[in-house]
Amino acid sequence: MLTTVRKNTMLTDRIYRLTLSAPQVAADAQPGQFVHVRTVPPTSWDPFLRRPLSIHDCSREEGIIALLYEVVGRGTTLLSRLRPGDEVDLLGPLGRGFTLVPDRRPVLVGGGLGLAPLLFLARRLREARQRPVVLVGCRRGSDVVAIDDFAALDCKVEVATEDGSLGCKGMVTTLAEKHLECEDAVYACGPRPMLAAIAGLCRGAGALLQVSLEEKMGCGIGACLVCACPTPKGYARVCTDGPVFWAEEVDLRG
């Protein structure tokens, strides 16, 4: 599906926010779902694969979605060169998103760019009259983005940085240890070791946990089986059975 670039804003030296006119995606999207983005025009086959990116924000009324991405390789470098008016081919919304848990305090935990899907989630939680606590962990203060957007939704935001240059010094797990309560519904996205640590904390506290996982993808729609994630019942497909799983469904050490 062809979408049109509205804005492609550089937020830090490596992190960009891409805003796209995509009414159909915006109408159907659920928080935690992703889009599969072609980084080159339809006539080019190199880079060959699409890139999975979480839906960072979404406005049904305006028919726009936003993606928050870090430039790490060829595909994201190509995305960073997009200008307003350019066309971007994407598939989506794809995958299983977060289940909004009623009557429990939502705690959103994002490690690094794992923060990406949480803004859209916070927006939908606010629409459901819940008030999320957002815990953000980054390496340095200069990597911390989108905080103001959460604050604008009237979320309570806590930041941890590994070098202590912003918020408290430490990891997002340090914040989670401090803030988690047993009746919480926790929504987490970030590196696998972080998710495993959060899962340990949630088990200890009796909190419900959903995790959003990353795995390299081919088709993105469930057909090729390359995006395998170990579960007690064999491999699940991150692209269609996930990317969001209940923590008990998956083996986070694998």
Ligand X SMILES: Cc1cc2nc3c(=O)[nH]c(=O)nc-3n(C[C@H](O)[C@H](O)[C@H](O)COP(=O)(O)OP(=O)(O)OC[C@H]3O[C@@H](n4cnc5c(N)ncnc54)[C@H](O)[C@@H]3O)c2cc1C
Ligand Y SMILES: Cc1cc2nc3c(=O)[nH]c(=O)nc-3n(C[C@H](O)[C@H](O)[C@H](O)COP(=O)(O)O)c2cc1C
Calpha distance 222→238 (Å, rounded): 8
Residue span 14-53 as binding mask against another protein, x where in contact by CB under 8 A, dash where not: ------------------------x---x--xxxxxx---
72 touches, from ligand FES, ligand X, ligand Y, none (C-beta below 5 to 8 Å by class): ligand X
CA distances from 250 to 95, 121, 241 (A): 16, 21, 11
DSSP E strands: which ranges in 152-219?
156-161, 168-169, 185-189, 208-212
**Piece in contact with another protein (CB under 8 A), picked from 123-131, 134-142, 151-159, 234-242:** 234-242
Residue span 183-222 as binding mask against ligand Y, x where in contact by CB under 6 A, dash where not: -----------------------------------x----
**Piece in contact with another protein (CB under 8 A), picked from 20-28, 112-120, 135-143, 229-237:** 229-237
- Token pair of 129, please? 């009259």
101 touches, from another protein, ligand Y, ligand FES, none (C-beta below 5 to 8 Å by class): none
Cis peptide bond upstream of 23, omega within 30 = no
Sign of CA dihedral 181, 182, 187, 189: positive
Calpha distance 120→40 (Å, rounded): 26
Residues with Cβ within 8 Å of residue 75, at least 6 apart in sequence = 37, 39, 47, 49, 51
**Piece in contact with ligand X (CB under 6 A), picked from 1-9, 49-57, 122-130, 143-151:** 49-57
Q: Which is nearer to ligand FES, 65 or 217 (CB)?
A: 217
Residue span 146-185 as binding mask against ligand FES, x where in contact by CB under 6 A, dash where not: ----------------------------------------
222: left (phi over 0), alpha (psi -120 to 50) or beta: left
The least distance separating ligand Y from the CB of residue 223, rounded to whole angstroms, comes to 9
For another protein, the binding residues (CB under 8 A) are 38, 42, 45-50, 91, 215-230, 234-235, 240, 254
